[in-house]
Every structure is written in C-alpha cells, then in structure tokens.
Chain A
C-alpha cells in the first residue's frame, strides 16, 4: 500500500507559469512533509518542507500548501523556469528514521 500518493505523473508548463503538484497521505501520524527535486543522474535534493501545524510555507518561488483535514499537500512553483525542469517527489515521515516517497512528477517547463 502506497503511503503517499502523488499526481500528476508528468506536467508541462510554459515559462512564467505556475506548476502545481499534489500529494495525499493516509497516516495521520506523519508530521513532516518534505519536497525533493531530482535531476537526471543525480540524487534527490531537499527543496522545501512543512510541518502540519502550518497551512502554508513559502521559500522564494516555491510554496507548500497543507490541508490537514483533507490529508493533502501541494507544491506550487511560481514563475516556472526551464531550469526547474526536473522530477519532483513529495515525502512524509513521523520519526525521521523512515521516509515514504511519492511516485514522482516529471516537470517540463517550455521556454
């Protein structure tokens, strides 16, 4: 059973547009929700993360929106750039010993 479900599988956005990636979880014990960015041939790199006690976190062009009652969270990339083209993973954990990852979203930002 997949603990974290991610959608869409792929996304094409024009330069300057907003990219939105969604994740849903079932385990209410999860208390930390990071997003990772992965370029081909590289390992994932932490992008931004949120705790469930806040509904939104913003860092530069990247924003996480968190809906605790719906058990959903999403990543918004404002003013998307071609350099943002990568695969994005959401994840969740409740003890920092074991992280559960979504299946990934391949983002292509067209110039």
Chain B
C-alpha cells in the first residue's frame, strides 16, 4: 500500500517561471488537501477537494495559484509567474470520505524560486 506520492521532490525555478506540482493520493481517498509550509513554520491550508470538486480554495494566496483534480484522483498545483515568496514546501494530504479526521501527508515538494 503506497502512501501519498508527490513529485517532483525538489523544484528550482527562476522567478517568473510557471511550475506544476503533482500529488498522487492514496487509492480510494476522496478528500485531498494542499498546504504550503514555509521554512520553520506550520502547514498553511491552500485548498481542498472532494473527488473532483474543489470545495474550498480560500487559502490560495493569489490568482497565480491554481489547483485541479479533474478525475478525482491525481491533483496538480500550478503556480504561474513564480515569485521568491513562493519558495516553500508544498504538502499534499488525502483522507477517506468517512475518516476525514485522519489526513495522510506526502513528503512534499520543496520549491525554490531564484
């Protein structure tokens, strides 16, 4: 049973580039969350999906951030025109529909914007 898989593990981008971060949740997990974790800080909520529906995107910091989960499984977080302040670890978590209290986190993608 594989856990939540995120790719790439590390991404270096030049300021202004677009990046796409991928999350493969645990099979059968309906709920999917994205978080941003700045260095030395706790995870900050970005967005939440239930199946393919994005039910909460209140944490996305700007319209440069976009997330999708078109088939209710794999999700992609896209950041357009990256800025230095976007440098962080992006964490993905998934959970079962009837056990939403238990989130399983991936190891994250460390994004560095130069």
Binding site for B on A (CB under 8 A): 6, 32, 34, 41-46, 49, 89, 91, 96-104
B42 to chain A: which residues have CB within 8 Å?
A: 6, 89, 91, 101-104
Cβ of B22 to closest chain A Cβ, rounded Å: 15
Q: How far is the CA of A41 from the CA of B93 in the complex (A)?
A: 15
**Total number of B residues with any Cβ neighbor in A under 8 Å:** 25
**Contact present for B44 and A96 (CB under 8 Å):** no
The 7 A-B residue pairs with the shortest CB-CB distance, nearest first, are A43-B105, A101-B42, A96-B100, A101-B43, A97-B48, A89-B42, A103-B42
B45 proximal to A (CB < 8 A): yes
A45 to chain B: which residues have CB within 8 Å?
A: 105
Residue of A nearest to B38 (CB): A103
Residue in B43, B101, B106 whose beta carbon sits within 8 Å of that of A96 in the complex: B101
Per-residue contact bits, chain B 68-88, to A (CB 8 Å; 1 contact, 0 not): 000000000000000000000
Q: How far is the CA of A3 from the CA of B49 in the complex (A)?
A: 22
Cβ of A65 to closest chain B Cβ, rounded Å: 19
**Contact present for A34 and B4 (CB under 8 Å):** no
Cβ of B104 to closest chain A Cβ, rounded Å: 8
Residue of B nearest to A32 (CB): B101
**Contact present for B105 and A34 (CB under 8 Å):** no
B43 to chain A: which residues have CB within 8 Å?
A: 44, 89, 99, 101
Cβ of A26 to closest chain B Cβ, rounded Å: 16
Q: How far is the CA of A45 from the CA of B59 in the complex (A)?
A: 21
A97 to chain B: which residues have CB within 8 Å?
A: 31, 48, 55-56, 100
**Contact present for B107 and A34 (CB under 8 Å):** no
| Given A98-B56, A101-B44, A46 contacting B102 (CB threshold 8 A) | yes
**Contact present for A43 and B4 (CB under 8 Å):** yes
A102 to chain B: which residues have CB within 8 Å?
A: 42
Q: How far is the CA of A32 from the CA of B102 in the complex (A)?
A: 11
**Contact present for B101 and A43 (CB under 8 Å):** no
**Contact present for A104 and B40 (CB under 8 Å):** yes
B108 to chain A: which residues have CB within 8 Å?
A: 43
Q: How far is the CA of A91 from the CA of B44 in the complex (A)?
A: 11
**Contact present for B44 and A98 (CB under 8 Å):** no
